[in-house]
Structure 1
């Protein structure tokens, strides 16, 4: 696998990534590579233990931590969360009685995509900010940071610790790894890499700081090295295939995390979803993992329980996803055939614009407007023109970014099963409902 070091260096240079780490665990052996700088122009080299803000891969840590509590009998996956967070009943009414930890871990809880931080009271007041849902719990998949914020609060109530304290004491210390925290009062370590934005037209690479509140931390507040991510992945590999069993989670509960949740259809993100893990089938057996983007970073984790293989990439630039795509054929040449990240829209003739698709769709504070402009379908997000849409069979659409011309993750229009009218849109895994006309 030595050729991967050169491949990583070339891909980082080609995609204007200041620094990156690649870690591979295969056949019981580790291969680790680092290139570049922690912060552009600093001369501070990326090391094996450099921590990169991993964004939503934090959710896999939070989910695994909760499963430790499930294995210990402290939390029931299918018990109403309101049993632990009674304030949810005041916020959601009778719906609170059916919302479970399984729903929240699999993004089938119906919560808004983003966390609405309470004005006072911190995480203890979080549940009071959950005022409505995009769909009923269990009705389908809609990616939700708010759901993981609630899981973090649940962990705090059950353990009597802050979420950060519980992560350290219950999960990462037994795993023998040391993470950094990039939200709230937790100070990032001196080895935490900066995120970067890239203006390729002007050849500008600019460091950016992380902007995350402590309430959002369970959804995206960790920084880790690629080697740290592989250590977590080893828990989720079969011990007979190179996995490591630290004795934290019962094997049956680990298997539960890898099992696809019925109705969790993360269209455009993956082929299925378990508990804190996405499922990527590709053309063969399933890979699992998670992607994460923080402010100016892009990170990826993949694992195959059957072959005992895990791969992690951290990149301290928003262009890191392109680096990852460049590395996939290099990994394939090394015998590691990772499934593609997300289903592609079927090629074929573009369909006419559905007559009832235009309008505004909302998910919490996010507004997606679908408009016709110059005989093309366009997407406007929070009043900012974002993408051009091309409709294919089944009301699926491809997405082309207006500023860069690059293809984004596909989406789809969803119809009300009773009326047949388009009443929702799913994009980036998030479901948004059509905004009702105000009289």
Structure 2
């Protein structure tokens, strides 16, 4: 990695000294009560890395450039990139039935790596029994859609992708990820439970500050969220998707990056490729977001401007900090896409026929009348009050953590006869 230095952006802006990034990061971390954060920017062939705060609220070890932060679902970009490298080497085919690759029976023949990578597999979000086997969970799963017809974010689908990698390579998922991608990129492997991994933290609620929280990820879901990476590591991963030689040929990379027509990730991004999201503003940026227990990580890749931006935070408010950081970086000339807010829509009453329970796998979402009027959403026993439906079928709830009305999801189907809801990119069918 090149030394940290000021950047001269493709927008023609003046170079931003490292100190400028440092001050922005420190200020935002203090404002949001985040114990530690990292920012890495690659532009014009140079990388700048800055960090602030501590790895652990109690131990006070300073955050450094190599601190590995539990990266949650950004792991999926790594898993998907490994799959595409196998495809580039003709070890795997995108449209080959998954059961055929594994040499097993009982899987839907329409289920392929293409569907799994793009979250159009129709599988539920998570396994019902995380202690069971991946294949038994897949066989027992009740689909939320026919493969290839709708987007529904699925950690279970990525568990199956990990099984495909293991079947093709003869290695464990960790061994394959390290051998095919991480070590060639000179990234020191770390995982959520590794001793050198940074601690996540809950939200700051008192003078003692945010409290450390432990990571909890079932082994089955490692391909969906097990890695711990620094912002500098994420930049190196992003550079693969700028055409860095040696891993993906041009045709394979184009396949991965191309927007999938039936993948509409409402509430997550503006589009989806094969394991990588599309974020749109004046330009299209590729990337992924990830949260683990008390951490947040964000990766953005501008292919047109050959720019990569990566951010990590070890606090539960990291995503809100990222939103503010995007605004600050745009002011410095890095044209990151802002989070798209729903267009103004008129609040309308919820039809009686839309109250009820909607299911994705083992998780139920219930829309019911509120105790004090209106409506509320119940997810796994947690109540989100003040559900407000709008005339575009989207709805908001009051976020218990911030007290603000927050975009949450949308109803699918005819008003009063909803057949499904979408929440956080997940499709849940009416019971």
Taking structure 1 as the reference length, the TM-score comes to: 0.90
Q: 1:56 to 1:79 in 2, by over 3 A?
A: same
For 1:208, which of 202, 206, 213 is the aligned residue?
Answer: 213
Whole-angstrom CA distance in 1 between matches of 2:369 and 2:93: 48
Pairwise CA distance, 1:261? 0.3
- In 2, the alpha carbon distance for the partners of 1:44 and 1:14 equals 20
Name 1:21's counterpart in structure 2: 38
Paired residues, number: 413
Q: 1:110 to 1:14 in 2, by over 3 A?
A: same
* Equivalence map 1:308-327=2 (5 Å): 308-327=306-325
Shift of 1:128: 5.3
How far off is 1:166 after superposition? 0.3
Identify the residue that residue 148 of structure 1 maps to in structure 2.
Answer: 158
Displacement after TM superposition at 1:126 (Å): 5.2
1:423–1:203 Cα change, 3 Å:
farther
Following superposition, the deviation at residue 388 of structure 1 comes to 2.7
Deviations 1:314-368 (A, max 9, x none): 1001110111112112111221111123x32221431222332110011111110
CA contact (8 A) 2:201 2:316 kept: yes
User: What stretches of structure 1 of length at least 5 have no aligned partner?
Assistant: 239-243
1:266-298 CA-to-partner distances (Å, cap 9, x unmatched) read 11111110011110112x110111000001101
State the alpha-carbon separation in 2 of the partners of residues 17 and 223 from structure 1: 18
Q: Counterpart of 2:384 in 1: which secondary structure? A: strand
Distance in 1 separating the partners of 2:85 and 2:168: 12
1:106 aligned residue (95, 118, 131): 118
| Aligned counterpart, 1:174 | 184
How far 1:132 sits from its partner (Å)? 2.1
Residue 388 of structure 1: aligned partner: 386
- SS of equivalent residue, structure 2 residue 40: strand
CA distance in 2, matches of 1:230, 1:224: 10
Aligned-pair distance for 1:43?
2.1
CA positional deviation for 1:382: 1.5
In structure 1, C-alpha distance between the alignment counterparts of 2:319 and 2:401, rounded to whole Å = 17
Q: Who is 1:371 aligned against?
A: 368
1:130 deviation in Å?
4.3
Name the residue aligned to 1:67.
84
Q: Tell me, which stretches of 5 or more residues in structure 2 are unaligned?
A: 1-15
Alignment check: 8 A CA contact 1:142 1:431 kept: yes
Correspondence 1:412-423 to 2 at 5 A: 412-415=410-413, 421-423=417-419
Which residue in 2 is equivalent to 1:218? 223
Partner residue in 2 for 1:249: 248
Q: Residue 290 of structure 1 corresponds to which residue in structure 2?
A: 288
CA shift for structure 1 position 404 = 2.9
Do structure 1's residue 35 and structure 2's residue 90 form an aligned pair? no
Contact 1:409–1:428 (Cα < 8 Å) also in 2? no
The 1:60–1:130 alpha-carbon spacing in structure 2 relative to 1, beyond 3 Å, is farther
Query: Which residue, 406, 424, 430 being the options, matches 1:428?
Result: 424
For residues 323 and 203 of structure 1, the distance between their equivalents in structure 2, rounded to whole angstroms, comes to: 20
- How big is each residue's C-alpha offset from its partner over 1:71-114, in whole Å with a ceiling of 9 and x where there is no partner? 11111101111111344x42x4xxx1101111010100011111
Change (3 A) 1:63 1:407: farther
* Corresponding position of 2:242: 237
**Match of residue 241 from structure 1:** none
In the TM superposition, residue 131 of structure 1 has moved relative to its aligned partner by 2.7
- Report deviation, 1:211: 0.5
Residues 69 and 314 of structure 2 are in contact (CA less than 8 Å); yes or no, is this contact kept in structure 1?
Answer: yes
Report the 3-state secondary structure (helix = DSSP H, G, I; strand = E; otherwise coil) of the residue aligned with 1:13: helix
Q: How does 1:44-123 map to 2 (within 5 A)?
A: 44-87=61-104, 89-90=105-106, 92=107, 96-117=108-129, 119=131
TM value normalised by structure 2: 0.92
Maintained 8 Å contact 2:127/2:362: no
Q: CA deviation at 1:178?
A: 1.2
Distance 1:126 1:253, change over 3 A: farther
1:139 aligns with 2:149: yes
- Structure 1 position 396, deviation (Å): 1.4
* Contact 1:425–1:431 (CA under 8 A) maintained in structure 2: yes
Post-superposition offset of 1:403 = 4.8
Residues of 1 paired with 2:139 and 2:147: CA distance?
17
Matched position secondary structure for 1:287: strand
Q: CA deviation at 1:414?
A: 0.4
> Equivalent residue of 1:394, what SS?
coil
Separation (CA, whole Å) in 2 of partners of 1:420 and 1:358: 9
